[in-house]
Structure 1
């Protein structure tokens, strides 16, 4: 199974973008342009059950990582790959990095770990309630005043295409925990509801480069775009 992708730019250097839960490849629409202008081929992926990618009600982080690698090998064989993953997509990126070389990995507001064992159908029902709310761009802008009109349209479209059962399968399996590799980057909202100060300190003690953005939303680039770009000079700081 290959996943749907959106691309920008050209060249031998690939930047892989992996969105968070209930997002889509389009969630990166504003980030893709500066990455492409910096000489990268940018590949944003719709993860299973998101965007235009197939549904998979039995998927796990491991199986999603496998299909991300398969998709990359298909569309960019032999390319030098760097990756940026947000939240759930960051956890997938950590698993991808265990399967293929990722020269630089940036994890956005994620500890890359969560507890499994959820009731899939009950969790899917909760996702469905949230999905329906998010299909309304006006509701998104009321609850996320930092969204532009384009942001709200993009995320409402992601909600329309989102499959709750696929997403719920991720948390219905076993516990998931990936340690961020030394030299990788953790871009964290501060305060963060997803990465505690203790988590960040432990990551830093292992050689992870922790970069906090004060008062940012969980989707850091939506609320603090300039600060987000400045926190990733490895991707946007020149060739």
Structure 2
């Protein structure tokens, strides 16, 4: 399926942004503004079941990747884009790598593995409870590093988030999705998603692993300047 895209800027280079689970294209608003300011065109994509994209109760990492590739090719035909994926979006980016063939792929605190085989009803209930907890009031109380705009954006993303689509991803067979050689992995330090063992595996594969000490899982919300400074290949004049 073609996915909903927020298009900003008109630079010669295009940067594709893929959000994490329960987020949306809007989650990147501050990052997109910086990218446009340095001369990039930005495609921030709503993944299936998120934002304004269609729901899919049979979604898998690989089918989400195919939708991303189709969408990017529709909006940036023939272009080798820069691509940044956070968490779930980073896994989707890894699955899309061979077909997308980005000039550079950046995976932000993204897990490498999905266990799979989860019980659908329980997982839908878990995601529904998580969605209901992401209100403006709750986010203000639990995310002190969020600005008021961050709070509004993430609360709106939760309202639009489809638990059944999210649950489908973990109900399949699971698997391992590794960033391609030459990719960058930017992790929080410490990270609940990219372990020291993962770092050794990635570096042996030719992946450049970088860290932002003390950052939250959504690194750019808690450590925006450090996030940008860690990725000069992305935040440079196009």
TM range (shorter): over 0.9
* Structure 2 counterpart of 1:78: 78
* Structure 2 counterpart of 1:170: 169
Separation of aligned partners in 2, 1:111 and 1:152: 24
* Structure 2 counterpart of 1:158: 157
Kept in 1, the 8 Å contact 2:40–2:237? The answer is no
* Structure 2 counterpart of 1:30: 30
Q: Which moved more, 1:93-102 or 1:148-157?
A: 93-102
Kept in 1, the 8 Å contact 2:179–2:207? The answer is yes
Kept in 2, the 8 Å contact 1:66–1:96? The answer is yes
Separation of aligned partners in 2, 1:102 and 1:78: 11
* Structure 1 counterpart of 2:44: 44
* Structure 1 counterpart of 2:132: 132
Provide Cα deviations, 1:88-139, integer angstroms capped at 9, x if missing partner: 00000111112121110000001332111111221010000010010x1121
Separation of aligned partners in 2, 1:81 and 1:238: 15
Kept in 1, the 8 Å contact 2:136–2:152? The answer is yes
Alpha-carbon RMSD across the aligned residues, in angstroms, is 1.1
* Structure 1 counterpart of 2:63: 63
Separation of aligned partners in 1, 2:158 and 2:112: 23
* Structure 2 counterpart of 1:181: 180
Structure 1 position 65, deviation (Å)? 0.7
Q: Which moved more, 1:226-235 or 1:72-81?
A: 72-81
Provide Cα deviations, 1:163-220, integer angstroms capped at 9, x if missing partner: 0000000000011212222211111001111111111122122221111111110001
Q: Which moved more, 1:119-128 or 1:6-15?
A: 6-15
Q: Which runs of 5+ in 2 are unaligned?
A: none
* Structure 1 counterpart of 2:213: 214
Kept in 1, the 8 Å contact 2:2–2:70? The answer is yes
Structure 1 position 238, deviation (Å)? 3.3
Tell me the SS of whatever aligns to 2:89: helix
* Structure 1 counterpart of 2:223: 224
Q: Which runs of 5+ in 1 are unaligned?
A: none
Runs of 4+ aligned structure 1 residues displaced above 2 Å come to none
TM-score (norm 2): 0.97
Tell me the SS of whatever aligns to 2:44: strand
Tell me the SS of whatever aligns to 1:48: coil
Separation of aligned partners in 2, 1:199 and 1:113: 10
Structure 1 position 38, deviation (Å)? 2.0
Kept in 2, the 8 Å contact 1:88–1:112? The answer is no
* Aligned CA distance change for structure 1 residues 80 and 39 (closer, same or farther; 3 Å): farther
Separation of aligned partners in 1, 2:46 and 2:178: 24
Separation of aligned partners in 2, 1:35 and 1:177: 30
Separation of aligned partners in 1, 2:138 and 2:212: 26
Separation of aligned partners in 1, 2:204 and 2:30: 32
* Structure 2 counterpart of 1:195: 194
Separation of aligned partners in 2, 1:139 and 1:77: 41
